Structures are given as structure tokens and as C-alpha cells.
A and B are shown apart, each in its own frame.
Chain A
Amino acid sequence: MSVVQIDFGKRKRARVVGIDLGTTNSLVAYMETPPPKVIPTPEEGKLVPSIVSYTREGKIVVGEEARRRLITEPERTVYSVKRLMGRGIADVQDELKLFPFQIAEGSESVIRLKLGERTFTPPEISAFILRQLKQNAEAHLGEPVEQAVITVPAYFNDAQRQATKDAGRIAGLDVLRLVNEPTAAALAYGLDKRHDGVVAVYDLGGGTFDISILRLHEGIFEVMATNGDTHLGGDDIDNLLLRIALEDIESEWGRDLSGDNSAVQQLRRAVVKAKEELSYALKTVIDFEYEGRRYQRELTRELFEKLITPFVDRTLGPCRDCLADAGVRPEEIDEVVLVGGSTRIPLVRQAVENLFRTRPHTELNPEEVVALGAAVQAAILAGSVEDKLLLDVTPLSLGIETMGGVVSKLIPRNSTIPASATEHFTTAVDGQTNVLIHVVQGERELAKDCRSLARFELKGIEPMPAGMPRIEVRFLIDANGILNVTAKDLRTGKEQQVEVKPSYGLTDDQVEKMIEESIEMAEEDFRQRQVREARVEADTILHAVEKAKQDEAYEALSEEEKQRIEEAINQLVVAYHGDDHVLIRTKIEELNNVTMKLAEAMMNAAVSKALKGTKL
């Protein structure tokens, strides 16, 4: 595998971009000076649909192009993969009923999706989206982009966060920070606001719902509490409408289309279009044509609102819990910020306004605000914004399983992160050398009702009578909301090795392997681009040398020098027709070197010619 050397010596301050890796769409933004800006896609759009397709030629396509393939190649195309990030097969049974995910065999510990003849894990799919955003940013900024802040739903658990970080690594990004989406939105809004107060951020995206309550105080954005549902988003509305339309069609046409992926995708586009129109119009038509037949159904806003009321109501419970956890009454909320495409729905806006008794802010585009906030956080980490600081919290309590399967809470939910807890462990049996620890996340009393995070073993304990060893284990949730565990034998003072096996996630080795594979797949593209660029440079120099050969300075060169130039030209031309860009560049360099004297002579001639015309 070839390694591309890029000279970063001249780089002043590493560029850090902010990425919103969404369920439906993804965006990348950056901030040089306020305000932050969304980086356009090559098609001059801003949103990259979070859709990935694997072509029959073994190429990966992302975004709009992949969206088109959703209809032509549904078996090779995947969307809404964020719903599967960091989750086990048992968690996603509901998802599998509603989304055309094709699960490959051997998905017990890590889900694998089948796209054509290959399988990919959700972090790999997300990595393709991230890589696309990275490329868009590089093309726009004209410099390499290797560091990023990536946003995640505030209610994402440890495994989902880890999976997102893994996706970043696989895409060749150094993920400096995972930031919670509602917090990022608050940062985007709070940028030019001088006054302090209590802000609620209501974030209803494609697949997830978050509510966060923050206190703004002299540039500090302190999250007081957060709540949410990682199973609730605009996708659910789409699925509801889709189901109704499918039933309609079945009774009208006498044909069940639900097994026909391509038809379902086209119908999905039709219902999404209708849904979006109802944010502005009072009625619309779901319009769908398939194999010469046409289905049309009028949908009024009134009926639409009746259909989605249960769905909107489901967001209100987490809002009330969040208020209670923050210790804030609704009337104490100074401002409400809306985030996510689904907050364009008038009924959602009304519900939020009723609950918080405040008219929500909508100045910033709800689909862009998270990426913009991520760009602000990126600027904070790069050191170019110094007066702002985010203090975020962990959404779920962290605990360990104790006797009888009961959870002992170590770090309560809504604790500001980084946060830590220290526990002491000992042995139960004489001579025991291992202690098994089960870490869980969640609010329930029994470990089996919580989310299993990891199991790890304290190994190599000196054999002693039961209860004698004293092992101190420190659980630390870092600023990304990810758990780190260290252990120490208090008798020997020796650091203990801790091997944390994630319950639902990739091991380090698996991630390493995926990084390699991803580079291999992406390399085709990248290498082709490099070859193209090298050839352009070769063209330039070959053209210049051919021209110089007409110059009198060339005639003045020795035969040996002329020979060397000819030789170098030949070698470059041979390399030019190969596909090794490193070789092309080496040959360009060599031709440059042997023509150095010629170039100097021509330069001097030109200078003296110019001087001749000048009066001294």
C-alpha cells in the first residue's frame, strides 16, 4: 500500500471541522471568523444525504448519487444507518421491521449489513459518509482536513458514541471531540448573544429525539439536564404514512407492494414530499406512479396532525423529565431553540410552545444549526475561540452489577463530564486471581433491564485468602461521554491491566482492520485523483521543456547535457502512461533537476535582454 507524504510544515494551525453525522442528512461546517459556515457539496448543495451505495464495480457512492440508486439498486444501497450504530441485533428488531436493512449472517455481536456481495458494519457505512464530507471540505478549503468534531444525539449511550468515534477513525479523521447535538445547537445560537439565561433545546431529527436544558453564564454553556429517545424521529412519521399508502394501494390495486424494495423507495419519496409540503400548505396529494399505474391520495394537514399526535406526544414525556432533572419550571425557560428537520412541522412547534410557554427560535436553519455549532466547538478546540466553554453531561447513569443482579450506581445521569467514580473490589474465594466486573448504563434497578456496556476482568491478582486483595477501579467518563477504566492493586500499588470487552461494538483490532480496508477501497479514487494531478503537472513541464528546446540557450548546452534531458523526458513519458503518481512525480523532479541549468541560462538571457532596454 502506498503512503502519500504531505508536507504539513507550513501549516499554521490545524484545521478542525465540525460534522453533523445525521440519520437522514449529514453536513460539514467550519469557522474561520464568526459566523460559522456550512461547506457546500460539489453539487452546490449543503446537505449530503446519509445514504451509501456499493456499486457492481466495487465502488462506494455517497449522497445524492446513492439516493438515486436507492430506487435502481435497493439491495446495494443503505440509508438511516445511524439507527444501527453501536447496537446489537436484539435491540434493532423494531427497526428491521420498518427499514429495508439486509442483515448478513454472523451479526450476533456486531451487526453486518449486506450490500451486494459485500458486508459492512454500521461504523464502516458511516465512515463512507464521513469520508465524503472530509473530501468536500478538502476540496472547498484547498487543504487537508484531518481533525474533526462530530456530533451525536445527547441521549446516545457509550456504545453508540464509541461506534461514532470508530467511524471517524475508519474515515481517516482524528475525532477531537464528540459533541451532543442539542448542545452544539445552543452554541450556534449563543454565539452572538450577550445575555445569560436558561435555554431549552428541542431536537427532533430523522431518527432521534433529544431535549436539553442549559444555563448560559458569561460564555459558559452548562448543560443542566438532558433526556431523549434514540428511537424517535421523522423517519417514524414517514413509516406511518408509508404504511397507510401501502394499505391503500393494496386495496385499490389488489397488489401488495411492501415486498418490492424499489416501489417502496419511490413511494417513500412521495410520502416524504407530501409531509414536507404540509409544513406550508393546508393540504396536499400523495402522488405515486408505478409500472403504468397511478395512486393519488389527498392528505389534509388536519388529518396529518391527527395521525402524528401520538408521535409528538411521545416527545413531551422526556421534556417533562428533563425539566424535573434540571430543577427548572417551564416558566423559567428563557428561550427555546428548535433543531432538526421535523421541527418544521407546525404541530411540533405548537406543542413546544405550549409546553415551554415561549415562542421557539427559528432564525437558524434547523437542519444546519447542529453542524454550525460543531464548527464553533471545533474553533474552541483549535484555540481560536477562547471565551466560550461547553460543560456537557452524561445522559445515563453508569453502574456495575452487584449481587443478585442489582445495579450499584456509580455516576448518576446528568453528571457533568468528565466525571469519575472509584470502587474497591476484593475476592470471594480463597486464592481467587480474577474478578469479573459488569458495567451497565441506564436507570433501572436490575442489570438485566439496563444497557450492558462492557464486561472486564481484573486479572493477575495475587492468590490470597478471600476478601484480602484490595483492587481499586476508577471509572472515568471523558469529555466525549465515553467510559475509560483503570485499575490498581492497592497492596502492591501496581496498575492492573483492564481489558474492556464492549458488549456491542468493535474491538480495536477490528477497527484497525477496517481502517485498512477502507483505505484500500477509497484508495482507487484517491490514487486516480493523484495520478490525474501528477499528469497535469507532467504536461506542464513537458510542454515547457519542448518550448525551451527552441531557445538559443538550449543550443549552448553540451551534448551530454542535452542527452540527459532527453533521457529524463523519455522516462517521464513512460511514467506518464503508468498509474503510479509517485513515480510520475519523481520523474518530474528529475527532469526539473537536469533542466535547472537550462532554465537559469534562459532566465539570465531574459534578464539581460530586459536590462538592455533600461537606461541606467
Chain B
Amino acid sequence: MQDTFKHAEACWQCGTPAEQDLFCRYCNSLQPPDLDYFRFFGLEPRLKLDPEDLQQRYYKLSRLLHPDRYTRKTSREREYSLEATAILNDAYRTLRDPIARAEYVLKREGFENVEPRSKNVDLELLEEVFELNMALEELRAGDESARPQLEVARDKFLAMRSEIDRDLQDLFEEYDATRSREILEKIRRLLDRRRYVQNLVAEVDRELSN
């Protein structure tokens, strides 16, 4: 995990022992940011989040931290404001999207290679993918009759994705209730498959729009 900025032991300005706060409780100066996305938002690390609540917290923190509010402050506070707002925005981008959020929790729990860049074939989808590739080749070769077939395939993969999303929702709830590593393992496999299906949909879309 990134560790460019460690949370300070004491306030850089006045030396007051730090708590996990954005500002020093004594002199009110901005402290170096916490790098954990959930802690940054003052949230428990959960896979299900209330998007409304997250948005409200995001706006509130933006008002407190944004560089626009620090142009007349010391260079150190300006730097912390920039760092903190960058992390706030990264965190919000990640946490408001259920998939990115789940990937983040996996990384946070020590799972490696959460976003593999290879395109390993999902064995359970082998047959569908084979048919799909045939149709793609035909279309690329100028055979327009492959188009309807691709559209059918696209719908099928989209349905598959919806099913995966439903399963994920259930697993998210289960994980929040149990904190079981086994569930995370299942989530991870499902995310891999989702990414794979997603790539297929994107590929078909690209060909269909050409």
C-alpha cells in the first residue's frame, strides 16, 4: 500500500499529540492526510455503502480541504491541502463505485494482483467465447450477416454481467456481516469473471460501432 505520507505522531505546527483528525485540535492547522480511504471518510471498511451519505461526506470534506481554501495559508498547509484533496478525490472515485470499492477492500486485505492485466480465458465461458471470436472474425472480414449474431452475444454477456452483479451484492452483504476471508476469495473470483465479461462486451461494442 502507498506510504508516501505517514500520519504524523504530533502536530507539525504546535506539537500537540495527534489524534486521527484532519486538523490539530489545539491550533487548528491542517495535518498530513490519512491514506486509508475508509478512515479518510470516517467510515467502517464496508462493501455496502449509502451513496447519499458518502456524497454528503465528500462535499463536506471538500469544503474543508480544497486548495482553493488555502491560497493564503502557509506553503506547508497548501501542500497538505493538495495532498489531502487528491486522496479525498481518489477515495471518492473508488468508494462510490461498488466494483472499485470491492477491489480496494481486497487490496486492503492483502490480496495481490487484484487487477490483472492479462486476458486469461475464463474456462466456464470457453464455448461462448469461441463462438464469439468466430463471429467477430466474420464481421471483420466484411461479413455483415455476423452482425445479428454479435448482437445476440452482446445481450447474453450483458445478462451474465447483471447476474454477476446480483451475486456480488449478496456476497458484499455477507462479507460485511461476517468479515470472512473466504467470502473475499469468492468476491475476487467473481470480480475476475466480471472483468473478463466486461472486456468481451467492450470488444463487441467496438466492432459493432465500426
Write the residues of chain A forming the contact surface with B, with a CB cutoff of 8 angstroms.
Answer: 176-177, 217-218, 220, 377, 380-383, 389-391, 408, 415-422, 472, 474, 476-479, 486, 488
Q: Which residue of A lies closest to B71 (CB)?
A: A381
A486 x B4 contact (CB < 8 A): yes
Write the residues of chain B forming the contact surface with A, with a CB cutoff of 8 angstroms.
Answer: 2, 4, 59, 62-63, 66-69, 71-72, 82-83, 85-87, 89-90, 92-93, 117
A220 x B62 contact (CB < 8 A): yes
Q: Which residues of A contact B59 (CB under 8 A)?
A: 217-218, 220
Task: Output the least CB separation between A205 and chain B (Å).
Answer: 25
> What 14 additional pairs, Cβ within 8 angstroms, besides A389-B62, A472-B4?
A176-B71, A177-B71, A377-B68, A383-B72, A389-B68, A389-B69, A417-B89, A418-B67, A418-B82, A422-B2, A422-B4, A476-B86, A479-B66, A479-B82
Alpha-carbon gap, A389 to B66, bound state (A): 8
Alpha-carbon gap, A476 to B2, bound state (A): 14
Contact of B89 among A217, A418, A486 (CB under 8 A): A418
Alpha-carbon gap, A390 to B63, bound state (A): 10
Q: Which residue of A lies closest to B70 (CB)?
A: A381
Q: Which residues of B contact A390 (CB under 8 A)?
A: 68
Task: Output the least CB separation between B18 and chain A (Å).
Answer: 21
From known contacts A381-B68, A381-B71, A383-B72, infer whether A408 and B117 are also in contact, taking CB-CB under 8 Å: yes
Q: Which residues of A contact B69 (CB under 8 A)?
A: 389
A391 x B62 contact (CB < 8 A): yes
Alpha-carbon gap, A477 to B89, bound state (A): 11
Task: Output the least CB separation between A453 and chain B (Å).
Answer: 18
B87 x A415 contact (CB < 8 A): no
Contact of A416 among B4, B82, B93 (CB under 8 A): B93
Q: Which residue of A lies closest to B35 (CB)?
A: A422
Task: Output the least CB separation between B11 and chain A (Å).
Answer: 23
Alpha-carbon gap, A422 to B1, bound state (A): 9
B93 x A415 contact (CB < 8 A): yes
List 3 tightest A-B contacts by C-beta distance, closest first. A418-B86, A420-B86, A416-B89
A478 x B63 contact (CB < 8 A): no
Q: Which residues of A contact B83 (CB under 8 A)?
A: 476
Q: Which residues of B contact A478 (CB under 8 A)?
A: 67, 82
Q: Which residue of A lies closest to B63 (CB)?
A: A389
A177 x B89 contact (CB < 8 A): no
Q: Which residues of B contact A377 (CB under 8 A)?
A: 68
B2 x A472 contact (CB < 8 A): yes
A420 x B62 contact (CB < 8 A): no
Task: Output the least CB separation between B44 and chain A (Å).
Answer: 24
Alpha-carbon gap, A486 to B82, bound state (A): 14
Q: Which residue of B lies closest to A390 (CB)?
A: B68
Task: Output the least CB separation between B166 and chain A (Å).
Answer: 21
From known contacts A391-B62, A420-B87, A420-B90, infer whether A380 and B68 are also in contact, taking CB-CB under 8 Å: yes
Q: Which residues of B contact A421 (CB under 8 A)?
A: 90
Q: Which residue of B lies closest to A417 (CB)?
A: B89
Alpha-carbon gap, A520 to B24, bound state (A): 47
Q: Which residues of B contact A422 (CB under 8 A)?
A: 2, 4
Alpha-carbon gap, A479 to B86, bound state (A): 9
B93 x A474 contact (CB < 8 A): no
Q: Which residues of B contact A418 (CB under 8 A)?
A: 67, 82, 85-86, 89
Between-chain CB contacts (< 8 Å), 16 pairs: A218-B59, A220-B63, A382-B71, A389-B66, A389-B68, A389-B69, A390-B68, A391-B66, A415-B89, A417-B89, A418-B82, A418-B89, A419-B86, A422-B4, A472-B4, A479-B66
From known contacts A420-B87, A422-B2, infer whether A177 and B68 are also in contact, taking CB-CB under 8 Å: yes
Task: Output the least CB separation between A263 and chain B (Å).
Answer: 45
B72, B83, B86, B89, most chain A CB atoms within 10 A: B86
B4 x A419 contact (CB < 8 A): no
Q: Which residue of B lies closest to A14 (CB)?
A: B72
Alpha-carbon gap, A390 to B82, bound state (A): 14
A479 x B67 contact (CB < 8 A): yes
Q: Which residues of B contact A391 (CB under 8 A)?
A: 62, 66
Q: Which residues of B contact A417 (CB under 8 A)?
A: 89
Q: Which residues of B contact A220 (CB under 8 A)?
A: 59, 62-63
Q: Which residue of B lies closest to A391 (CB)?
A: B62
Q: Which residues of B contact A218 (CB under 8 A)?
A: 59
From known contacts A419-B86, A419-B93, infer whether A488 and B67 are also in contact, taking CB-CB under 8 Å: no
Alpha-carbon gap, A302 to B86, bound state (A): 50
Q: Which residues of A contact B92 (CB under 8 A)?
A: 416
Alpha-carbon gap, A73 to B19, bound state (A): 67
A419 x B89 contact (CB < 8 A): yes
Q: Which residue of B lies closest to A419 (CB)?
A: B89
Q: Which residues of A contact B67 (CB under 8 A)?
A: 418, 478-479
Q: Which residues of B contact A477 (CB under 8 A)?
A: 86
Task: Output the least CB separation between A563 and chain B (Å).
Answer: 52
A479 x B2 contact (CB < 8 A): no
Alpha-carbon gap, A223 to B85, bound state (A): 16
Alpha-carbon gap, A536 to B120, bound state (A): 82
Alpha-carbon gap, A488 to B66, bound state (A): 25
